[in-house]
Amino acid sequence: MSNERTIFKALSWASSFLKANGRDANAGEILLRSQLNMSRSKLLAEQRIPLDDHEWGRFEEAVKEHAAGRPVQHIVGYEEFYGRKFLVNEDVLIPRPETEELIEAVLQKLDATFTSSLSDLKTADIGTGSGAIAVTLKLERPVLSVFASDLSEKALQVAQRNAKSLNAEIQFLQGDLLQPFKHKDIKLDVVVSNPPYIPVHEKLSDVVFKYEPHSALFGGDDGLAFYRRLVSELPEVLKEHGLVAFEIGDGQGKAVAELLTEDFPEADIEVIKDINGKDRIVTMVL
């Protein structure tokens, strides 16, 4: 074992290698933390610790795999979302930090809209994917009655594993958008969704395009196809006093708000910008 094969040397090599290959130079830290099962503070505090040949080889392989395009989250098998680890694979969209802002908006609107009690409010995450939204809402507001639906059976399997590992009681339904609720005559108090909203012609990075499910990314020519369908189905499942919250793409706020206004002219509709000042969330309170 070479004395130079320390954590410090591994991180330095990974940073340079990834940068040279057009990847995030900090990805090496995530990969090594996962491999050694160390917190960030512990990893940075113990940079002089040597790695044996097996550890170095595994790390080198993982870094090269990411440099070739595979997402870090698929290599380590999880993504952190709202302070919790969610299992991810090629069957689900990797949860993004922006979606944490959707969670924040929903929690604030819940507390402001249903002032008497949140107990047993029927709340649904439509197109749940990894289950990040549904599980997080249940864990942050345990009195909610939370449903999660997805068209993809494989996505639901991932979401169910996440719900089980994080001890979140979720009712899962397979089907297209709000159809499973319509068929079971389930009326909802709260509808939350982060549907596919990227226009089909928009160019994505190879890490996203090659490894994440296109069914969870693209929303038709203008990115609004799923919002049109969701809004058209809402009157059949949403209660008279309800809350709707959608994550949206930059520049889509006005269009999505107008879609909601057409069917719900008396509703209180708001477009919320994210931390970067971009359209990110549309909420509707009935």
Confirm or deny that 220 is annotated as ligand binding: no
Q: Is 253 annotated as a binding residue?
A: no
Selection from 93, 107, 94, 81 nearest residue 283 by Cα: 107
127 is in an annotated binding site: yes
* 136 annotated ligand binder: no
Q: What is the DSSP letter of 107?
A: H
Is 128 marked as a binding-site residue?
yes
- Say whether 194 counts as a known binding-site residue: yes
Torsion of CA 158, 159, 163, 165, to 10 degrees: 20
Q: Is 165 annotated as a binding residue?
A: no
10 touches 36 (CB < 8 A): no
Beta carbons of 3 and 53 less than 8 angstroms apart: no
Looking at the DSSP bridge assignments, the partners of residue 170 are: 146
DSSP string for 113-138: H--S--TT-EEEEES-TTSHHHHHHH
The tokens for 84 are 């919790």
Tell whether 131 is in a known binding site: yes
Tell me if 195 is assigned to a ligand binding site: yes
Structure tokens at 190: 């709260």
Task: Return the bridge partners of 94, or none.
Answer: none
User: Residue 22, annotated ligand binder?
Assistant: no
**Between helices 153-165 and 132-140, what is the axis angle to 10°?**
30
Question: In one letter, which amino acid is 108?
Answer: Q
Q: Please, what sign has the CA dihedral across residues 81, 85, 89, 91? A: negative
Q: Which residues are annotated as a binding site?
A: 127-131, 150, 194-197
Q: Which residues are annotated as a binding site for substrate?
A: 194-197
Q: Which residues are annotated as a binding site for S-adenosyl-L-methionine?
A: 127-131, 150, 194
